[in-house]
Structure 1
Amino acid sequence: MKTKYLLIIILCILFTTQIKAQPTITSADIITGTFPNTAVSLTPGAYSPGSGGANITWDFSNIQGTAIGVTFVWGVCPGIAECSAFPTANRYIALIDPSTGTQFPDKNMFRLTDTQFEHLGARNETMNFTYAYTDTPIELIFPLTYGQSFTDTSSVTDNTITTTTNDVFTADGYGTIITPAGTFTNVLRVKKVSTVTSSGAGTTSVTEMINYIWYKNNRETIAVFSIVNLISPVSAPQSSNFQYATNANLATENIQVEKKPIMYPNPVKDGKLWINIPSNTKIKSIRIYDMTGKQIFAELQHQIIQIGGKHMINMQNYPEGNYIVNMETDKNTISHTIQIRKSN
């Protein structure tokens, strides 16, 4: 009887330990601060985000690709002018201009409550432009732990173009993630599958975005593995990227903001972004980030066709909004904020 009792105690201890190993993310874990990240452009299919499950180790310590640094601020509303455009906002995210150390004018606005983290829209005071969702997207629900899932829809209409997004979230794993910046234990991985449909002016496009996001209590987002695929009008892989938190921008280039208007038009209305550069300059890579700092597009040198100092990027299948375009040349790295707007 004593042996059985002792066995029960041991099993209870082991079970309790296993339960404690499952992290739970709450609203208190959406912290504020300035967070440097390194974004790595990957060849589609070269790396896998890894499987889900309990007590998994995801090892990205030796991930190889073209890397660049991006730093963003998670701030509090009220506190900046943009907050007045969204009275219910109490959080915002902005990217840092590396040449000045100040925030870019584009601010993504959020509302954080005890039960959810909601994306309200974006505001650019310099351009006097507001991007507001008709049906706001939910980024997270709280509390969130392993095995939970939820769905969400969001939509926005601008210039007769309606963009609808269907999201499926699954907390599909927990354990340890290893990045070039270090080892992080007791993390929760959330898989987010987004189907983005843009329709209007007689055309419809569908893009699938899959993000695997690793969260840790009382820390910024630890890592994101992103896969973007065009579903229609043709099916084709677009990009694959891995982004991770760093204490310093590891293995990145010094970014300089070019003052000349070499990227045009802005805003982009026909889905075509043109880049002009001197004929004696070679483009090494082009990366596009959304305003939360996630890399959504990448072209490496062997993919870039440069004719007479011009290069065109097709952005017809990306939702309306503001984006950061980083272009690395053989001389420097240039950053521009561009806006996609769709019209007849």
Structure 2
Amino acid sequence: MTRNRTLLWLLVPGGLSAQPIITTDNMPILGDVVPIGICSDPIDTVALNASAGAMMTWDFSGLTEQTEEQFLFVDPVGSLWENDFPTSSLCGISWDGSHAYYTTTSGMLEQDGLCTIVPGPPPEDTAKVLLTTDSESLMSLPLAFGDTHSDVFSGTFEAGGFIGAVDGTIDLVADGHGTLVLPNGTFSNVLRYRFDRVQNNTVLGTTTSTSKVQWGWVSEDHRYWLLLMEVDFNGFNPIELVWYSKVPPLVSGTGLADRSMETLTVWPNPVPAGGSLRLAGTGVPDRARLLLADATGRVVRTWSGPGTQFSLEGLVAGNYMLTVLDARGTRRSTSRIVVQ
């Protein structure tokens, strides 16, 4: 269930036409591979709350990158938990192997659930949140400065052999717009939001709650988030996360879903275990770099061109995602590879 409302524009100066509006064009699409820099900087919540408003400049050029990771967006069909999410249209795989399942429509970004692999013997090696009763509406689209969004969600969770009920609320406000300065560049037409999220988990009659506050910066000119900061309260100690997109895909760029201008021929596909891939077509640039990721999003092979034949020796059977980058790091093609 979703509730939407728009705040009064009393504090906004002139020039409303220049304000960014976030739409489905700014959401990730099938085939997007987004490298991110995870940073060690502490989150100053007081400063963040004080930096809301119109025509702001947020300067995070001094962020300290700790590690580079990536998000990978694939077709739910062929992913590890495809049977649990038959109606989802997109699966986002994070660097830790978590799979988030989404449905994107012209008016909403919905999260249908989240699954991840945890230590333990099967089937206790999986933690699942299935929002099949009422999915979580993360963002109402289009989204502009001053807009607010609220939602309630519910479903079930499975972890450690236990099955329980989950429900919660999310409240979002688009509280700022302006210019964002990051270590990799300066971005205009940026909208910032803040959301507060509460999740209640009930098992065997006992309910525990977790909460999260998140600030996200989204550009009208790019897909996916430019910068994200969040504080997760798990009932013990707050856990902070800061990351920024190192190569944010342009709205005019392409993912797997719209690569009509590029042709990549991969054969054989399926490929026998221990065999080799051969590539041809305009999707194979000179000095290409190839990344092969498994179903958890983990990059298991990298190759650098020139070359059109690549060995898969040592890989187990399964579904993989092959991404081709040119010499500048721009993604040129993405293909699903099946190893039998």
Q: Is the 8 A contact 1:43 1:239 kept in 2?
A: no
Q: Distance in 2 between matches of 1:200 and 1:80?
A: 28
2:16 match: secondary structure: helix
How many positions carry a matched residue from both structures?
223
* 2:28 corresponds to 1:31: yes
Q: Which residue is equivalent to 1:171?
A: 174
2:225 match: secondary structure: coil
Q: Which residue is equivalent to 1:51?
A: 51
Superposed displacement of residue 81, structure 1: 6.6
* 2:153 corresponds to 1:150: no
Superposed displacement of residue 87, structure 1: 2.5
* 2:213 corresponds to 1:210: yes
Superposed displacement of residue 171, structure 1: 0.6
Structure 1 window deviating more from structure 2 (128-137 vs 145-154): it is: 128-137
Q: Is the 8 A contact 2:43 2:229 kept in 1?
A: no
Change (3 A) 1:243 1:48: farther
Change (3 A) 1:122 1:43: closer
| 2:101 paired residue among 77, 90, 109 | 109
| 1:226 paired residue among 230, 245, 248 | 230
Superposed displacement of residue 206, structure 1: 2.7
Q: Is the 8 A contact 1:151 1:167 kept in 2?
A: yes
Superposed displacement of residue 29, structure 1: 1.3
Deviations 1:280-325 (A, max 9, x none): xxxxxxxxxxx99xxxxxxxxxxxxxxxxxxxxxxxxxxxxxxxxx
Q: Distance in 2 between matches of 1:170 and 1:119?
A: 18
Q: Which residue is equivalent to 1:247?
A: 247
Unaligned runs of 5+ in 2: 1-12, 249-295, 298-340
Q: Is the 8 A contact 1:111 1:120 kept in 2?
A: yes
Give the structure-2-normalised TM-score.
0.57
Q: Which residue is equivalent to 2:199?
A: 196
Change (3 A) 1:46 1:245: same
Q: Distance in 1 between matches of 2:155 and 2:84?
A: 16
Paired residues for 1:43-82 under 5 Å:
43=42, 45=44, 48-49=47-48, 50-64=50-64, 67-78=66-77, 80=79, 82=81
Change (3 A) 1:179 1:22: same
Q: Identity over aligned residues, as a percent? A: 23
Q: Distance in 1 between matches of 2:139 and 2:201?
A: 23
After superposition, the CA RMSD in angstroms is 3.2
Superposed displacement of residue 247, structure 1: 3.1
Q: Which residue is equivalent to 1:89?
A: 88
Change (3 A) 1:183 1:122: same
Deviations 1:70-120 (A, max 9, x none): 2011234556574454222111101358xxxxxx4x532111111111111
Q: Is the 8 A contact 1:44 1:237 kept in 2?
A: no
Superposed displacement of residue 43, structure 1: 3.9
Unaligned runs of 5+ in 1: 1-13, 98-103, 249-290, 293-344
Superposed displacement of residue 51, structure 1: 1.6
Q: Is the 8 A contact 1:57 1:178 kept in 2?
A: yes
Deviations 1:111-143 (A, max 9, x none): 111111111124579967664213211111111
Change (3 A) 1:177 1:140: same
Give the structure-1-normalised TM-score.
0.57
Q: Which residue is equivalent to 1:238?
A: 238
